[in-house]
Structure 1
Amino acid sequence: MTTNPLIRQECAATVLGGPTVVIDLGGLRIVSDPTFDPPGPHGYLTKTAGPVATEEQVGAVDLVLVSHEAHPDNLDDRGRTFALSAPLVLTGPRSADALGSPAVGLAPWTSRSLPRPDGGGELTVLAVPAVHGPEDGERDADGNVNCEVIGFVLSGQGLPTVYISGDNASIRTVAEISRRVPAVDAAVLHAGAARVAAKFGGRPLSMDGRRVAAAAAVLGVDVVVPAHYDGWTHFSEGRDDLELAFREAGLSALLNATEHGSWTPLRRG
């Protein structure tokens, strides 16, 4: 674990472990899917490793993004406390109802804009769909597989456009996002091929390495920051599987599977 605070960057992202990513963009510090608990059981899921930085080392944040609050591998106990202490949390409508203030629910294809401290105008956060399991999985009344999950697209004048997938397992959904947001520069993609035996016959609830590589190709991004592939026992693939999938696809130059706590620039050059 790092003993130093995470120094603010101009335009970069770092994975802390599990799904938790810190993104510095437009003068804002953004944290997605905060999980800060130590290792241990969380109901039917088991956490095996904590993050490489504490809440205190992350410091003050401007925005927390929660893809879904229903599962502790994306929002554990300390992560929930961290999120609710932020000035703003953006998430899906059901998650916002469950979390309460300061959470604001965004349905897919709706957005929220925030003023940028760097003087560049506004950062727009667009909510986009996600499918948390196989395409043919049983859906609830709102059309969700497993539970409500959303992804996000961050954009603003002079900034790279950044897609954060959340726990999406659907390439069809990625293709829809690519059609509707045609100029994505960087992507934070949840991987790990999460599997729970009691759900959908043990089929993946998040993308495996090959689907992450396919998503990168469909989006046409320059930078891929993978997350959600370690720290929990139900993740069935790790970093080696991601690296192999990108190597076999001829896309290794896109993948930035660096050590947790290391910063990745969100645009080339």
Structure 2
Amino acid sequence: MTSPSLLPRHDGQVLVVGGPTTVLDLGGLRIVSDPTFDAPGPHGYLTKTEGPALAEDRLADADLVLVSHDNHPDNLDDRGRAFALAAPLLLTTTSGAGRLGAPAKGLAAWDTHTLARPDGGELTVTAVPAVHGPEDGERDADGEVNCQVVGFVLTGDGLPTVYVSGDNASLRTVTEIARRTGPVDATVLHAGAARVPGKFRGRPLSLDGARVAAAAAILGAPVNIPAHYTGWAHFTEGRDAIEHAFDEAGLAPVLRIADHGTWLPLKP
């Protein structure tokens, strides 16, 4: 049987595959965040309800994989893990790198890693903090809510600055990122208002629609692309809620949302 062809590159654009999984073609590099490629079905206490818009074979040319955290299967499922470990480089949390092994490199919040670009420039990846639950949630010995999670800010000369949130529910954290990184051109914001019975009194572990719109306002980005709002049973808000929240906030012009598998430009 013939293998499917590689997905053609669209430099300066983003494609949401499904769940949190996002393809960013930036500066001649192909970056895949939080790969999840399993078919629908149970994953322990979580249930996947939708498969990806495209199979991992079509992204086999990825130059870099970003994993906000490896602890939960809705951010790194079985096929996603195999995909990530086959990549030339995987950037993730410090604890996750220890669990995953090569080619994973662990980054704490505000650590950076720089990659050479095919055009002779560089892409700098900065890990940024994330809080995977309510601000007042019980914290572990390392000060983390739920588990260690990072987001990522991607920068480079001549490139749009892109913030990929990871599973973050904290607007205070978004404000800190905006203060420290300066202007952001585009965001990929994990939404969905994920809730798990028994955790934090059922309060959301990720941004709900209103907070996604608020995060976009705080960051001031002209392009905001939601991800991680469908495909798993524990998501409690979908596309309609996000669109409504941006409209209510008067921010509909900066929202970019489309069917999974659709390329979206990183610039207005």
Letter in 2 for 1:254: V
Distance in 2 (CA, whole Å) between partners of 1:143 and 1:111 is 21
The Cα shift of 1:5 comes to: 4.0
Letter in 2 for 1:229: Y
Distance in 1 (CA, whole Å) between partners of 2:141 and 2:45 is 25
Contact 2:14 2:25 in 1 (8 A): yes
**What residue is the counterpart of 1:116 in the other structure?**
117
The Cα shift of 1:163 comes to: 0.2
Letter in 1 for 2:206: S
The Cα shift of 1:221 comes to: 0.2
* 54-63 or 21-30, larger mean C-alpha shift: 54-63
**What residue is the counterpart of 2:248 in the other structure?**
248
- Map 1:124-139 onto structure 2 (within 5 A): 124-139=124-139
- Map 1:177-196 onto structure 2 (within 5 A): 177-196=177-196
Distance in 1 (CA, whole Å) between partners of 2:6 and 2:88 is 20
Alignment of 1:38 with 2:61, yes or no, is: no
Gaps of at least 5 residues in structure 1 are none
Letter in 1 for 2:167: D
Identity of aligned residues (%): 68
Contact 2:115 2:124 in 1 (8 A): yes
Contact 2:49 2:231 in 1 (8 A): yes
The Cα shift of 1:6 comes to: 2.1
Distance in 2 (CA, whole Å) between partners of 1:111 and 1:137 is 28
Task: For residue 9 of structure 1, give the secondary structure of its aligned residue in structure 2.
Answer: coil
The Cα shift of 1:4 comes to: 6.3
Letter in 2 for 1:242: I
Distance in 2 (CA, whole Å) between partners of 1:164 and 1:113 is 16
**What residue is the counterpart of 2:51 in the other structure?**
50
Task: For residue 90 of structure 1, give the secondary structure of its aligned residue in structure 2.
Answer: strand
Letter in 1 for 2:187: A
Task: For residue 210 of structure 1, give the secondary structure of its aligned residue in structure 2.
Answer: helix
Task: For residue 16 of structure 2, give the secondary structure of its aligned residue in structure 1.
Answer: strand
What's the TM-score once normalised by structure 1's chain length? 0.97
Distance in 2 (CA, whole Å) between partners of 1:151 and 1:87 is 20
RMSD of aligned alpha carbons: 0.8
What's the TM-score once normalised by structure 2's chain length? 0.98
Gaps of at least 5 residues in structure 2 are none
Distance in 2 (CA, whole Å) between partners of 1:245 and 1:126 is 29
Distance in 1 (CA, whole Å) between partners of 2:187 and 2:138 is 28
**What residue is the counterpart of 2:8 in the other structure?**
7
Distance in 1 (CA, whole Å) between partners of 2:260 and 2:218 is 26
Q: 1:102-132, CA deviations, whole angstroms, 9 ceiling, x for partnerless residues?
A: 000000011000000122x110000000000
Alignment of 1:92 with 2:97, yes or no, is: no
